[in-house]
Amino acid sequence: MSLSIGIVGLPNVGKSTLFSALTQKGGVATKYPFSSVEANVAMIEVPDDRLMQLADITHPGKIVPATVEFVDIAGLARGSSLGEGLGNQFLARIRQTDALVEVLRYFADSEVVHVEETLDPARDNETLTTELVLADLGTIERALPRLEKEAKKHKSEALKFDLVVRLQQWMNDGRPAREFDFSDEERHLIYDLHLLTMKPVLLVANVDEDKATLVPEPINGVTPLVIAARAESDIAQMDDEEAAEFFALLGIAESGLIRLTQAAYQLLGLQSFFTAGDQEVRAWTIPIGAKAPQAAGVIHSDFERGFIKAETASFADFIAYQGEPGLKAAGKLRQEGKEYIVSEGDVIHFKFNV
Ligand SMILES: Nc1nc2c(ncn2[C@@H]2O[C@H](COP(=O)(O)OP(=O)(O)OP(=O)(O)O)[C@@H](O)[C@H]2O)c(=O)[nH]1
Ligand SMILES: [Mg+2]
């Protein structure tokens, strides 16, 4: 599975700047609101030092990191849902994403127009939430006639219609769908509406480079992740050594890409495991709590169907015993079965039957 993240925010808050910092391409950042007229999509490799350490042991033909897809859309202004600006028409591009990154403007720059004139990230967050709720209410309104028709035909569909009506009433007060008290079954029923406010949201405070160590006030109980997007997009053009120097100068321990993907994994309850052979060293993404056959299924459905066992070592053991022969000799290669719950960083060799 590849994680997909949509970048949202008011116009001119630095979404495209963040996107280009993440994608290291040098992108479409301009001074003018509503400048992004094409949605930008990029597949990014998630940097993970552990891959190199594994590769030093197995000397594989190739190294394959996990990937995250980022989608950058145009800004949503107050009134977007009524057609103000270009943002609304791009919302469709982020309906299929797993999570949203909401960029909030913390930098003051008189050269860069602020659509709401003053710096106030909490207000901007509220404005954006309102716009996303209104967009979802539009989706619901368009879906209701169809749902009502189906509810009359099939009794089973009546549950769904009733749920959507209740959700609509609840969201009419400006509340995001994710805060509605769904049962698991209801959550399932609502899924195919792809509501934007059902997606988990990661707040990013886009600060000027001299504020990279800022600790922002929480917004609705959540402390935004601080990224100096413009500085990071400049740093993305540098070689590793120079980049490290600049990060040190700004007081940043790790790049925005690493911190953002870690935060997204945490938000979505995801973790990594590895396969490490002489052909390939590779990172895979699975939900926390996944059992061994489910992890095998991420590699190939045959692996899941024909699952026999998972020869497993922790990452630390794999490194300490220098790979499979050393692990075996020390009795550190575990033979795990169907009920094994995979741990973060496990190095696994699946045995299966086809
Ligand atoms: N001073 C300062 N300027 C920034 C920072 N981040 C972005 N900018 C500038 O703000 C302007 C807008 O940035 P974009 O990344 O295009 O903003 P956006 O959110 O994508 O805007 P739209 O796509 O039009 O909604 C550009 O001139 C950026 O260089 C920052 O941290 N500090
Ligand atoms: Mg943009």
- Which atom of ligand 1 is least distant from the CA of 231? 31
Q: What is the CA radius of gyration of the chain?
A: 23
Every domain of the chain and the residues it spans: 289-352
**Residue 108 clears pLDDT 50, i.e. is over it:** yes
- Local confidence band at 84 (pLDDT 50, 70, 90 cut-offs): low
Q: How confident is the model at residue 39 (pLDDT cuts 50, 70, 90)?
A: low
pLDDT at position 35 over 60: no
In this structure, the residues whose C-beta lies within 6 A of any atom of ligand 1 are 9, 11-17, 29-31, 33-36, 74-75, 107, 109, 112, 206, 208, 228-230
Q: Element (H or E) spanning 334, and its range?
A: strand 334-336
The three-state (H, E, C) secondary structure of 207-233, written as one string? CCHHHCCCCCCCECCECCEEECHHHHH
Whole-model pTM above 0.75? yes
CB atoms within 10 A of CB 191: 10
pLDDT in tens, 249-287: 999 988 898 999 999 999 999 999 999 999 999 999 999
Smallest CA-to-CA distance from 340 within 306, 289, 305 is with 289
How many whole angstroms from 192 Cα to the centroid of ligand 1? 34
Half-sphere exposure of 266 (CA within 13 A, CB side): 8
User: In this structure, which topology does domain 289-352 adopt according to CATH?
Assistant: Ubiquitin-like (UB roll) (3.10.20)
Only one residue has tokens 């509810």, namely 151
Which H helix or E strand runs over 291? none
173-196: per-residue pLDDT in tens?
999 999 999 999 999 999 999 999
CA 47 to chain centre: 14
DSSP string of 22-56? Answer: HHTS-----SSTT---S-EEEEEEPP-HHHHHHHH
Put the strands of the sheet holding 67-72 in their side by side order: 40-45, 67-72, 3-8, 99-105, 201-206, 225-227
Distance 90 CA to ligand 1 centre (A): 18
CA atoms within 13 A on the CB side of 307: 23
Q: What's the pLDDT score for residue 26? A: 40
β-partners of residue 227 are 206
Is the Cα dihedral 166, 167, 173, 178 positive or negative?
positive
> If pLDDT is split at 50, 70 and 90, which confidence band does 296 have?
very high
- For ligand 1, atom 8, the nearest C-alpha belongs to 14
Of 113-117, 167-171, 187-191, 295-299, the poorest mean pLDDT is in 113-117
Q: Which numbered ligand comes closest to the C-alpha of 103?
A: 1
Predicted confidence at residue 27, as pLDDT, reads 42
Q: What tokens were used for 73? A: 């859309």
What is the residue with the minimal CA distance to atom 11 of ligand 1? 31
